[in-house]
Chain A
Amino acid sequence: MKNISFHIILIILIGLVSSCTRSSSNLDVDLSNYNPDNFVKGELDHWIDETLTKPYNIEIVYRFNRSMSDIAKNVSPPNVDRVQPTAEMVLDGFLKVYEKVAGKTFIRKYAPKQFVFFGSTVYNSNGTETLGTADAGRRIVLYNLNTLNEGDHLNIKRRLRTIHHEFAHILNQLFVIPPSFELVTPGDYTSDWTGKSADEAKNLGFISPYARAEFSEDFAETIAHLLVEGQLYYDRYANSSTEEGKVKLKRKEAIVVDYFKQFFNIDFRELQYEMYLALNKNYNDPTETVLHQLKNGFLKTITVDLKTGSHYVQFGESQKFRTVWNDVVTKLAQNINGSAGRYPERFAIQFESANKMILQVFYRSATGTSDLQGNYDFTITYQNDGNIRFTYVTNSIDQTQYNNGRAVIQGWQPLLDYFTANEFASDWLPASSGLANLRKFAGFQLKDDASNYFYGPIVLN
Chain B
Amino acid sequence: MKKLWIFLLFILAFTSCNKSEIEYIFDKSPEQKVGELLTALQSELLSSPYGWKASLNTNASGGYGFYMNFKEDQTIEMLSDFSTAASNTLKKSTYRVTWTMNAALIFDTYNYITLLQDPTPSVNGGSSGNGLQSDVEFELVSIEDNSIVLKGKRYSNHLTLVKLSEAEQKQYLEGGYTNSVNSVNNYFSSHQNNYLNVNGVSNLMEFVLTTTKGVVFQYVHTDGSVVSVTGKFNYELGGVNFNVPITVGDQVFIKGVLEGQDFYVYNINNEKFKISQHTQPILPIETLFAYNKTYNAIHINRVLPLGIISDFNATYERSLGLFDAMNPARHILQCYFKLTSATKAEVGIQNQVKPNGTTYATGLATYDYKMSEEGELVLSNPIYDSNFSARATQLAPIRDFFIAPGSTSKKFKLSYIQSNDPSVSNIGGLVEVDKPTNFYYGSLRKM
- A residues sitting closer than 8 Å to B (CB atoms) are 8, 11-12, 15-16, 19-20, 22, 24, 26, 29-31, 33-40, 42, 62-66, 73-80, 83, 119-123, 146
A66–chain B nearest beta-carbon distance, Å? 7
Given A77-B114, A77-B136, A122-B119, A12 and B9 contact (CB-CB distance below 8 Å): yes
- Bound-state Cα–Cα, A30 to B136, Å: 29
Does B16 reach chain A (CB closer than 8 Å)?
yes
Instruction: Find out whether the CB atom of A16 lies under 8 angstroms from the CB atom of B13.
Output: yes
Residues in chain B near residue A34, CB distance under 8 A:
30-31, 34
Rounded to whole angstroms, the CA-CA distance of A78 and B119 in the bound complex is 13
Known: A24-B19, A36-B98, A42-B75. A77 touches B110 (CB 8 A): yes
> From residue B3, how far is it (CB to closest CB) to chain A in Å?
10
Known contacts: A24-B22, A63-B94. The answer to whether A19 contacts B14 by CB under 8 A is yes
B136 touches A64 (CB 8 A): yes
A52 and B15 alpha carbons, distance in the complex (Å):
56
B35 & A33 in contact (Cβ 8 Å cutoff): yes
Nearest A residue to B34 via CB reads A34
B19 near A22 with CB under 8 A, answer yes
- B286 smallest CB distance to A (angstroms): 43
Contacts of B115 in A (CB 8 A): 76
A43 to B75, CA, bound (A): 12
A133 → chain B closest CB, angstroms: 16
Given A66-B137, A73-B119, CB of A80 within 8 Å of CB of B98: no
A120 touches B120 (CB 8 A): yes
From known contacts A24-B19, A40-B73, infer whether A77 and B108 are also in contact, taking CB-CB under 8 Å: yes
A80's contact among B9, B29, B110, B130, by CB below 8 Å, is which? B110
Chain A residue numbers with a CB within 8 Å of B31 are 29-31, 33-34
In chain B, residues 69-87, which have Cβ atoms closer than 8 Å to a Cβ of chain A?
A: 72-75
1/0 contact string of B130-171 vs chain A (CB within 8 Å):
110000110000000000000000100000000000000000
Q: How far is the CB of A451 from chain B (nearest CB, A)?
A: 53
B25 CB within 8 Å of chain A: no
Known: A12-B9, A15-B13, A123-B119. A77 touches B107 (CB 8 A): yes
B96 cross-chain contacts in A, Cβ below 8 A: 37-40, 63
Tell me the B2-42 residues at the A interface (CB within 8 Å).
Answer: 6, 9-10, 13-19, 21-22, 29-32, 34-35, 38
Complex alpha-carbon distance, A33 and B30, angstroms: 10
| CB atoms of B109 and A64 under 8 A apart | yes
- Cβ contacts A to B, 25 pairs, < 8 Å: A8-B10, A12-B13, A24-B22, A26-B22, A31-B31, A33-B34, A36-B34, A39-B74, A40-B74, A42-B73, A42-B74, A62-B109, A63-B96, A63-B106, A63-B108, A63-B109, A64-B106, A64-B109, A64-B114, A66-B137, A74-B119, A80-B93, A119-B109, A119-B118, A146-B110
The answer to whether B110 touches A79, judged by C-beta atoms less than 8 angstroms apart, is: yes
Decide yes or no: A119 and B114 within 8 Å by CB, A36-B99, A39-B74 being known contacts: yes
Q: How many residues of B contact A (CB 8 A)?
A: 48
Q: How far is the CA of A57 from the CA of B110 in the complex (A)?
A: 26
Interface Cβ pair total, 8 Å cutoff:
124
B46 to chain A, nearest CB (A): 12
Contact status of A64 and B129, CB under 8 A, knowing A37-B99, A76-B119: no
**A421 nearest CB across to chain B (Å):** 53
A203 to B74, CA, bound (A): 53
Using CB atoms, name the residue of chain A closest to B119: A74
CB distance from B436 to the nearest CB of A (A): 56
Q: Which residues of B contact A66 (CB under 8 A)?
A: 137
Q: Are the C-beta atoms of B119 and A75 separated by less than 8 Å? A: yes
B34 contacts A35, C-beta separation under 8 Å: yes
Q: Is B128 on the interface with A (CB-CB < 8 A)?
A: yes
Chain A contact residues: over half helix, strand or loop, or mixed?
loop
- The interface residues of chain B lying within 8 Å CB-to-CB of A31 are 31
Contact of B10 among A12, A20, A62, A64 (CB under 8 A): A12
> Does B55 belong to the interface (CB within 8 Å)?
no
- With A64-B106, A76-B118 given, can you name 10 additional A-B contacts, CB distance below 8 Å? A11-B10, A29-B31, A33-B35, A34-B30, A36-B35, A36-B99, A64-B107, A73-B129, A80-B109, A120-B119
Q: Please report B residues at the A interface, Cβ cutoff 8 Å.
A: 6, 9-10, 13-19, 21-22, 29-32, 34-35, 38, 72-75, 92-94, 96, 98-99, 106-110, 114-115, 117-120, 123, 128-131, 136-137, 154
Residues of B within 8 A of A146 (CB): 110
**Closest Cβ–Cβ distance, residue A216 to chain B (whole Å):** 26
* Contact present for B35 and A19 (CB under 8 Å): no
* Complex: A121 Cα to B114 Cα, angstroms: 13
How long is the Cα–Cα vector from A20 to B12 in the complex, in angstroms? 12
A-side contacts of B34, CB under 8 Å: 33-36
- The CA-CA distance from A30 to B73 in the complex, in Å, is 25
A393 to B350, CA, bound (A): 60
Q: Considering the complex of A and B, which 10 residue pairs feature the smallest CB-CB distances, nearest first?
A: A123-B129, A15-B13, A64-B108, A63-B108, A79-B110, A20-B17, A74-B119, A40-B74, A34-B31, A19-B17
> What residues on B are CB-neighbors of A40 within 8 Å?
72-74, 96
B92 near A80 (CB under 8 angstroms)? Answer: yes
B119 touches A24 (CB 8 A): no
- Chain B nearest CB, measured from A391 CB (Å): 46
A187 and B318 CA atoms in complex are apart in Å by 69
A31, B74: Cα distance in complex, Å? 22
Contact of A123 among B18, B117, B128 (CB under 8 A): B128
Q: Which residue of B lies closest to A38 (CB)?
A: B96
Residues in A whose Cβ lies below 8 Å from that of B107: 64, 77
Contact call B108/A29, Cβ cutoff below 8 A: no
Query: How far apart sit A448 and B229, CA to CA, in the bound complex (Å)?
Result: 79
Choose among B75, B99, B108 the residue with the greatest number of A CB atoms under 10 Å from its CB: B108
B120 near A78 with CB under 8 A, answer no
Which residues of chain A are within 8 angstroms of B94 by Cβ–Cβ distance? 42, 63, 80
Contacts of B131 in A (CB 8 A): 74, 76
Say whether A78 contacts B10, CB under 8 Å. Answer: no
With A and B bound together, what is the CA distance between A22 and B107 in angstroms?
Answer: 43
User: Are the CB atoms of B13 and A35 closer together than 8 Å?
Assistant: no
Given the known interface contacts A19-B18, A34-B34, A66-B137, the answer about A77 and B13 at a Cβ–Cβ threshold of 8 Å is no
Task: List residues of chain A with CB within 8 A of the CB of B18.
Answer: 19
In the complex, A53→B109 CA distance in Å?
20
Complex contact B117–A76 (CB within 8 A): yes
Contact B74 A74 (CB under 8 A): no
Which residues of chain A have C-beta atoms less than 8 A from B19's C-beta? 22, 24
Tell me the nearest residue of chain A to B115, going by C-beta: A76
CB distance from B58 to the nearest CB of A (A): 12
